[in-house]
Amino acid sequence: MKRLITIAILLFAFFAAETQACTTAVVSGKYTKNGKPLLWKHRDTWAVNNKIMHFKDGKFEYTGLVNSKDETGKSIWIGFNDAGFGIMNSASYNLNNDTIKQSGLEGRIMKQALQSCATIDDFEQLLKDMPQPTRLEANFGVIDAQGGAAYFELANFSYVKIDANDATAAPYGYLIRTNYSFTGEMGIGGGYIRYVTANKVFDDAVKINELSAQTVLQKASRNLTHSLTEQNLWDYKNLAAGEKKYVHFLDFIPRSGSSSSIIIEGVNKDETPENIVMWTMLGFPLTTVIIPVWLHSDMQLPQVMSYDEELKDSPLCHYALGLKEEVFAMKWGHSKKYYIDINSLLNADDKGFMQVLPTLEEEILNKAYAYKQDWEENGLKVSELNEYYNWIDGVVWNFYQVNFPQLKIK
């Protein structure tokens, strides 16, 4: 009987890891290209429909990623507030060695933190005040406007803080966590292969002073290399368009359950929190584009990132998931999650989704960087922000409609 219970627990952990398999990082501003801290969450979940929401229901205003079915935003999965505090998480599966049932309330905890915390110390106090057992097993990544950047590895009866500004813990200023914790039992949990893949991206970027939000999102979130098998799916780029080629797709950073990938770029110690940017990929990272999100009381979020009643999703996520159906073209059995048609993403005719979409992304980012530089020097202008968001709505809608008519965008 005891053996059956043990097997059941292991199976639960395995399937949980399959559905909550995030890849994340906390980066000190000491090693980034522009000197600002970063918070990265590549989210893998069963809830692949995501939206962005803005809230005014706490001590601080905040903006974050929400499941599209979560109408009122009860849970936040990565977000930041107007005090300059940002938070995200990854599930861990090697901290709790007991049978206490987990609550799955990480999103509620992060919402509470965004409502009430201005600093990393505030968040640590929130953890101290939590009743035990916490019924949580997670790596919480946090940054603040004081230059703070850290992980908190939280178990049922304890937590450990790992500081990205501590050269002993983070020799190159970054910490990466997938689905295990460094203070837990090694070899248990998940994401060891993804960790190695991500670590190479960060290590390479630090060495040439190119560690930035754009580098991580474009080279890690969309990484097509496998650190164990050394397979590089870009090797298939010479196939003619339309020539289906199925490849095994397991333990890459992007996965069948990748629902978004987001980086919060914080501020320097003496800088206004108004300059925080949340660089956001809504939907499957290989079929979507990066859109920056700032926070202001009078802003109107882009409609393509907000909930659409007819679609029951945000439009950008809906478009990205529509293209994802062509990537995961095999529909029978469990195998549909583990094989992709690589030809749909890249090919010799440059018609793959990962070859077409950069044109739109570059246009969005170039305009964003121009605004960002001006706002950091002269202050954020909400009229220009709303103007930019209106432009994004038009250019994203038009690009997907023109280039991907199979989506039948209205």
Per-residue pLDDT for the chain (410 aa), expressed as one digit of tens each?
434 333 334 433 433 434 578 999 999 999 999 999 999 999 999 999 999 999 999 999 999 999 999 999 999 999 999 999 999 999 999 999 899 989 999 999 999 999 999 999 999 999 999 999 999 999 999 999 999 999 999 999 999 999 999 999 999 999 999 999 999 999 999 999 999 999 999 999 999 999 999 999 999 999 999 999 999 999 999 999 988 999 999 999 999 999 999 999 999 988 999 999 999 999 999 999 999 999 999 999 999 999 999 999 999 999 999 999 999 999 988 888 999 999 999 999 999 999 999 999 999 999 999 999 999 999 999 999 999 999 999 999 999 999 999 998 87
pLDDT of residue 21: 86
Q: For the chain, how big is the Rg over CA atoms in Å? A: 20
- Per-residue tokens: 160: 């450990």
- Per-residue tokens: 143: 């940054």
- Reduced to 3 states (helix: H, G, I; strand: E, B; else coil), residue 163 is strand
Q: Which residues, in sequence order, are CB contacts of 308 under 8 Å at separation 6+?
A: 314, 315, 318
**Could you tell me which of 91, 73, 54, 56 has the C-alpha nearest to residue 280?**
54
Query: Which value, to the nearest 10 degrees, does the dihedral of the CA atoms of residues 25, 205, 199, 256 take?
Result: 70
Q: Is residue 25 classed exposed, middle or buried when 0-12, 13-18 and 19+ CB atoms within 10 A define those classes? A: buried
- Per-residue tokens: 269: 């110690």
CA dist 309 → 51, 95, 314, 397, 409 (Å): 12, 40, 9, 17, 15
Residues in the chain: 410
* Residue 406 DSSP symbol: G
pLDDT of residue 16: 40
Predicted model pTM: 0.94
pLDDT of residue 13: 40
pLDDT of residue 19: 52
Q: Is the peptide bond before 254 cis (omega within 30 degrees of 0)?
A: no
What is the set of domains in the chain, with CATH numbers? 2-407 (3.60.60.10)
Q: In what order do the strands lie in the sheet with 78-81?
A: 50-55, 62-67, 78-81, 86-91, 138-143, 149-154, 159-163
pLDDT of residue 7: 38
